[in-house]
């Protein structure tokens, strides 16, 4: 049940980011959005720890702020995978991806806090 709730939280956070930001666009179905949320979860589990470890000196140097760039890189990977799988998520550039990652992180954090999954 926890994994399903996590996918739903990711899907809701992605939907909010697409709704708020003009540079992010989603043209797929709800099922495709759930697929993108699943991709986001998988990339967060597999790729994000590796990126965080490789960027550890920059994370320490910037007192953790570089983790925002790592989150944006993870979302950029998800957008590229979404494009390759024709799921319908696209971005107009890294700036929009960065803002999207910030919105997704904040919404996910809020929903996890409300649902008690954190």
Instruction: Check whether 118 has a pLDDT greater than 80.
Output: no
38 — pLDDT class (breaks 50, 70, 90): very high
Q: What is the pLDDT of residues 64-97, one digit of tens each?
A: 999 999 999 999 999 999 999 999 999 999 999 9
Write down the domain spans for the chain. 2-115
Q: What is the mean pLDDT of residues 94-102?
A: 96
- Please classify residue 97 by burial: count the beta carbons closer than 10 Å to its beta carbon, then call 0-12 exposed, 13-18 middle and 19+ buried: buried
Please compute, for residue 13, the number of CA atoms within 13 A of its CA located in the half-sphere on the CB side: 26
Mean pLDDT value across the chain: 94
pTM to 2 decimal places: 0.93
């Amino acid at each position: 049940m926890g994994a399903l709730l996590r996918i739903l939280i990711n899907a809701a956070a992605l939907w909010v980011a697409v709704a708020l930001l003009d540079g992010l666009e989603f043209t797929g179905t709800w099922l495709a959005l759930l697929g993108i949320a699943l991709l986001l979860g998988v990339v967060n589990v597999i790729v994000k720890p590796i990126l965080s470890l490789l960027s550890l000196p920059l994370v320490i140097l910037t007192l953790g702020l570089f983790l925002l760039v790592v989150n944006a890189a993870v979302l950029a990977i998800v957008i590229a995978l979404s494009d390759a799988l024709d799921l319908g998520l696209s971005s107009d550039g890294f700036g929009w991806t960065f803002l999207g990652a910030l919105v997704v992180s904040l919404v996910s954090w809020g929903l996890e806090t409300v649902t008690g999954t954190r």
